[in-house]
Chains A and B, each alone.
Chain A
């Protein structure tokens, strides 16, 4: 088992006073706290730092640690346990020690519940853990109102041990959910010891990016490519929606980026339905035949259109 250099972890000298230790901890905790830093590895780093601070902030535990530290420092051999080292003194408690290192548990593990480490939520007896699961959903599923099966891992108590098991659950997604929302399934989280209630399951709704539609609240956006003459003269085009194709009139003189709203073709809301916005995108054909080139040519000669008229005005 590796000897943990708590001073080094916090970046302080072994003779640092409590205030220095506190400042060092706060700085690192702010940086690595998993609630503000989503980087992988940040949580582990935070736990280490919190463990170090938990031991060093208390005069009693710090004195105890310092004794080990002095020996560890002299021998300069991190893996060599000092004499009197109570290796394997782990208390069988499967619960609260889980977040501490083996090193910590072997030194302070027999301390029972007296030590308050990081995240000292009041341990309400032994209620099962809440579990949060990301739930990817296709836009089509939201509209079709179907039940989805989710699979997740959750902690279960068995013979005093915590074990992760796979669980499958069929869920009907409530109408009107939006991206990023969390829905609660009562009692579907981790199980508890004895008669204590199970935790809850929280599904974090994530809308899967769609090949055609973007989502803005409960509205959908679709980019519609149109030919220059369709935009200029107006035309009838077929537009996809989540529930089937519809026919749409492109008004004459439509511009690129212009939007048309189609009422009620968006995503369902708690009451009502969002809209679909069709955004025009004028596309020029890539391959030009001699004939169409000639037509463009005569158009350019006949037209007095200056797309950069605004620039002229500004520079004048």
Chain B
């Protein structure tokens, strides 16, 4: 069975995702992703979940030609939207169970 890794290092990220160190530093400085550990950036380790958002941020940086502050806002809003959609789905399902008896 393949090995599941829940973490990714800065070096792996840069070597494998085609992302430069400078970009990762920008992304971290603007709070788009947060390293789990590491004081020095050479020791940075990220949660594999944050790779998705990092890639998104870097794509937006290139494609929309906007600055990092705007990108961090976009990412923040996208994450908020995701969370709200999920909450809305759950509340709808709960309400439905309460009013109609759910998935009967």
Contact = CB atoms under 8 A, between A and B. Distances in A.
Do A and B form a real pair? yes
B9 to A, nearest CB: 11
Interface string A165-208: 00001111010000111111111100000000101101000000
A10 to B, nearest CB: 14
B63 A118 contact: yes
B79 to A, nearest CB: 10
Interface stretch (B17-25, B26-34, B37-45): B17-25
Contacts of A132: 52
Interface in A119-161: 119-124, 127, 130, 132, 147
A21 interface: no
Chain A interface extent, by class: 35 or more
B97 A223 contact: yes
Given A36-B74, A124-B15, 18 more contacts: A33-B60, A35-B56, A35-B78, A36-B78, A121-B62, A122-B18, A127-B16, A132-B52, A169-B2, A179-B86, A182-B51, A183-B48, A188-B2, A211-B103, A212-B102, A214-B93, A223-B102, A279-B98
A5 interface: no
B6 A174 contact: yes
B16 A35 contact: no
Chain A CB count within 10 A is highest, among B4, B8, B62, B90, for B4
Given A35-B56, A119-B59, A184-B8, A214 B2 contact: no
Interface of A: 22, 26, 29-30, 33, 35-36, 46, 50, 118-124, 127, 130, 132, 147, 169-172, 174, 179-188, 197, 199-200, 202, 209, 211-212, 214-216, 221, 223, 225, 257, 279, 281
Question: Which range holds the interface residue count of chain B?
Answer: 35 or more
B4 A183 contact: yes
Nearest to B60: A35
A130 B90 contact: no
B82 interface: yes
B64 A29 contact: yes
Contacts of B5: 184-186
Contacts of B18: 121-124, 127
What 3 A-B pairs come out closest when comparing CB atoms? Answer: A184-B48, A124-B18, A223-B97
17 contacts: A33-B64, A36-B78, A120-B62, A121-B62, A122-B18, A122-B19, A124-B15, A130-B16, A132-B52, A171-B2, A171-B4, A182-B49, A183-B4, A184-B8, A209-B103, A214-B90, A281-B97
Contacts of B48: 182-184, 202
A10 B20 CA distance: 31
